[in-house]
Every structure is written in C-alpha cells, then in structure tokens.
Amino acid sequence: MDTRRASGVSRASELSARTASQRLPPTVVNEVDRLLAGRTRDIRLNAELARRFRARSWPQASKIIRAWMIWVVVLDLLTLAVNAGLLPSETVRSMLLPASLLPPAAIVTAIVFLKPRGIWLEGIALHAGVFLILLSVALVGVNTGGEYYERHLTIMLFVAVTAIIIFPVPLEWSIAIAVFALGLYLVFQMQNPAITTENALAGALFFASGVVATVVARRTAGILAHKTFLLELRDRSRLTELTDANSRLELLARTDPLTGIANRRWMMETLSRVWSDEIAQSQGAAILMCDIDHFKQLNDSLGHAEGDRCLVKVSGIIQSSSRDDRDQVARYGGEEFLILLRDANQEDAVSVAERIRRRVEAASLPNPRSSVGAYVTVSIGPAVLDQGGATVSSEGLQRQADEALYEAKKNGRNQVIVYGPSLQVASK
C-alpha cells in the first residue's frame, strides 16, 4: 500500500506511533505485575527495572546530592567564621587544616553529579566525598581536643545521618555511609583520652542503634520509592494500551475496511476543516469524483470477490496517482471515490484525473460485460475552486464534481470532464 494512503488517517496513525514508542516491553510489564502482586517488602528491581528507575530518578537525586554538598560547604565556612570570632586564635588554627578537607571534597562530588555518569563513578565519588567530609568534621574535634573532641564526633554522626536520610541512593551506598561514620567514631573514641574504652564502646553501640534505625528507614523509603515507580510503570502501560486502543478505534472509524483508504466520514470532516480554515479559498482547491464504469456488471459476471479485488486495485491506483500529501483520497460509496486536491488549479486537476484514468485502463483489470471495453475503466469529474475566485462551499464544489462525473458517464465513460459553463471533455 502506498505510504500516502495513511494521509486519510494520519492523526490516528501518528498517535498510534507515539504510543508504540512509549510501550513497555512485555518482559518489563510482566515483571512489574509480578512485583506488585507480591508483598511490598519483597520488592527487588531486576537489572532492567533498576536501569529505568535510575534514569527516571537521577535528575532529582543528583539535585539533592548537589544541594547537600553545597550546604555542607556553606555551613563549614560559617562555622569557621563564627569560631574565629568567638574562640582563641590557637584553637581556630588547630581547626583550619582538617576543616580545609571538607570544601574541595564536597565541591568535587557536586561537580561529578552535574550530569549522568557511570554508576560506578558516581558511587566512588559519593563514597569518597562523604568519607572525606566525615573525616574532616571528626579531625576538627580530634585536633582541637578537649570538649571539642567528642562534640565533633557527634556532629560527624549527625552529618552522616542526614546524608543517609536525604540521599535517594541504593541501599548499599547508605550502608557504606553508615559504616564510614560508625567506624570513624569508634576509632577516634577509642583514642579519646577523656573516656575509657568501655565508655567508648558503649557510646559507639548507642549511636550505632540510631544509625542502623536510620538505614532501615532509608531502606523502607527506597522500597516505597520502587513501588511508586512500579505503579507509575503499570499506569503508563495501561494508559498506553488504552491510548493505542482508542487510536485503533479512531483509525477504524475513519478508514474504509476493504480498501484501507479513508472513508466518506473522514473526507466530510476534512472538507469541512479545509473550508472552515479558508484554505481552499486562499490557495485554490479541486474535488474529483471518480466512478468505476459498469461496476455492477463486473460483480454480476465475475462475482463480488473479484469486485472487491477491483475496488482495492483501483483505490491503490488512485492513491499512487495523487501528487503528494496535499491530496486526500476517500472511498465515497460503493464504486465511487472522492479526491481532494489542495493548492490546485484546473491544470492540476485535469493532470491528476487523466493520470488516474490512464493507469486504471492500463492495469487491464477484467470487466467482460463493460460497454467500454474488456477491462475496467473509470469516469472522472473534476470541479475546481480557483485561488481568489468566487466563494463556493465544499458541498457546492462537490455537487459540481458530481455533475461533471454524470456528464462523463453520459458521454460514453472512460473520460474526464471538467465542470464549467459548457462541460467539455477534458481528456479521453
């Protein structure tokens, strides 16, 4: 079938193509249904779903990570500024070197998350960045000593907890942040001269329970995010199916089921749209009424199956004989076709009509009882609305084409007669 045959149903076809591009593979749909049918806590995304989830969630996740890193830098600098104004200069100097680790670590990590990169690179950047930030906060207290020692270790744990809560990252990454924080806390507390080993272990165990609870909460949030994503995929799949079904129904409603070209209903809508937009009056237009000669005799002699085959062949010839996508073809009823030529004058209309007539005749489709000859022929009546000419409605132009077709059939068939004051044969 000629590609331009789709012009009669282009809107439905384009919609169908869009939904096809959005349709999920059956394996993904089946996996989504399987996961949603089970318990929420058992949801585990396979490789393909994990890839899709990452693609969907990465923009938001990267913004959160970048914002967190920037705020950590801002708070670090503000804290140093406040300490510089309140604390002895010697104490401040002891804080400067370890505190200087934080800004570059956070900034580099933020830069990595400016655009999508390999997941391994993002993982390394985030783990290294968070570890250096935690190490920087802890070393500020360790270097300063005294009351700042344990205070900054507690602050370090708080920073880690906020990262675990806020970062929408894989659970393994959150666990790694928790291990970094608890490991640093335990190592530095074991060296804290102000407390005993037992107190250091007790403190680490106390904070570990809180950090573990935070990780569990992060896991729950991650599972719920995965479930939300799966629900979105299922809704998208169902919406795509519904849209596709609607587009197929629209296609069926606008298409002649036998020939595959547009039907009368679609052509009437097109004519109404073209005339309401004043395209016809501004650019000129032509309507061609085309009728297969002695089609009833063909059905009577060769049977309706051969008649249907003839209709399909002739519709294809008409479609392939049109100029381009400006021309639309519809089966108007029975053996009659209507061709709309936009941006056309009388010369264009006659050229297209004669090309159709010659090609149908050259196709040598059998019609043994035709009075014209042994093969199928067509009669065509064009009516032309010249650019800038008198205003004529689409119904009026169609009536003119009908009159021209009637004259073509009355004068012997297998000819083109253009509507006009004298209705003369244009070609034969």
The beta-strand segments (E) located in 182-308 are: 285-292
If phi > 0 it is left, if psi is from -120 to 50 it is alpha, else beta; for residue 334 that is left
Alpha carbon distance, N-terminus to C-terminus of the chain: 28
Tally of CB atoms within 10 A around 34: 11
Residues 385/392, Cβ–Cβ less than 8 Å:
yes
Sign of the Cα pseudo-torsion (76, 82, 83, 89, in order): positive
CA 314 – CA 245 distance, rounded (Å): 30
Q: Which residues contact 299 (CB under 8 A, 6 or more apart)?
A: 306, 307
In 3-state terms, what secondary structure has residue 383?
Answer: strand
Residues facing 333 on adjacent strands: 336
Triad 236, 240, 243: Cα angle to 5°: 135
Q: Which residues contact 308 (CB under 8 A, 6 or more apart)?
A: 258
Nearest-10 crossing angle of helices 147-166, 171-190: 170
3-state secondary structure (DSSP) of residue 391: coil
303: alpha, beta or left, given left = phi > 0 and alpha = psi -120 to 50?
left
Q: How many residues does the chain have?
A: 428
Measured torsion, CA atoms of residues 179, 180, 183, 187, in degrees rounded to the nearest 10: 180
Query: Is 335 designated active site?
Result: yes
Sheet with 416-417, side-by-side order of all strands: 327-333, 336-342, 285-292, 378-385, 416-417, 425-427
Per the structure block, which two tokens stand in for 395? 């119904």
Q: Output the CA torsion 85→91→92→98 (10° steps).
A: -150
Among 31, 122, 150, 335, which one carries the catalytic annotation? Answer: 335
Distance CA 140, CA 72 (A): 15
CA–centroid distance for 249 within its chain: 21
Residues with a catalytic annotation lie at 335
